[in-house]
Amino acid sequence: MIAINLKPEEPEYLQIVEQVRRAVADGQLSAGDKLEPVRQLAERLSVNPSTVARAYRLLESQGVVETHGRRGTRVAAGAGGSLPFLRETRLRQIMERAVVEALALGYSPAESEAAFALQLAAWRERRSRPFATPAVSSDRLHRFAGSHDLALEALWAQTRLAWPDDAIAASYVGSLDGVL
């Protein structure tokens, strides 16, 4: 039995999911361990049994647990209890949201997959390209990598007026690529 502490500002079923996932990641729950039955956990937490059932269904869809009908819900063999598992699960959730949004907007799965592949290829290409740096001494060169913004263009223009000997090498690669 794991301790689950509910907070009023977050949906109860998501709190149950998160705390079970943490228990698996921390090794408190191992592959094959049985979770509390839905009704028992619901009674202990003073929540509706459908709230616990919803949490268990979400955990099952994420591959954290397996439901065995009357034999109960158990931690899945692949859960592993490790940080890489949680990272992979988080990435799958991010991707699922994007795919669901694309499908809801009427794009086909093939179109979504093709767009993702193209975007990933473009990102790899931008990342492999070296900065184009102006011929200026290194102490007078300022590099910028990030999202394009018209306000930045105005800032560059003012900077050039104020410090004509300085140069700016701007690479518009997006927010995440700029951080990288």
pLDDT of residue 36: 92
SS3 of residue 19 by DSSP: helix
Angle at 36 between CA 35 and CA 42, to 5 degrees: 135
Compute the average pLDDT of residues 159-172.
Answer: 79
d(CA 2, CA 31): 15
Compute the average pLDDT of residues 112-131.
Answer: 79
Compute the average pLDDT of residues 85-99.
Answer: 77
Compute the average pLDDT of residues 12-32.
Answer: 85
The 10s digit of each residue's pLDDT in 146-163 is 777 777 777 877 888 888
d(CA 89, CA 38): 23
**The total number of residues written for the chain in this structure:** 180
Residue 105 has pLDDT above 70, yes or no: yes
Q: List C-alpha distances in Å: 154 to 63, 89, 162.
A: 50, 42, 12
pTM of the model: 0.46
CB 25 within 8 A of CB 81: yes
The per-residue b/e assignment along 141-161, b for 16 or more CB within 10 angstroms, e otherwise, is: eeeebbeeeeeeeeeeeeeee
pLDDT of residue 83: 53
pLDDT tier at 48, thresholds 50, 70, 90:
very high
Cross-strand partners of 169: 143
Residue 115 has pLDDT above 70, yes or no: yes
For the chain, percent helix, then strand, then coil, each to nearest 5?
60, 10, 30
pLDDT of residue 37: 92
pLDDT tier at 142, thresholds 50, 70, 90:
confident
Q: Which residue has the higher pLDDT, 157 or 138?
A: 157
Using a 10 angstrom Cβ sphere, with 0-12 exposed, 13-18 middle and 19 or more buried, the burial of residue 135 is exposed
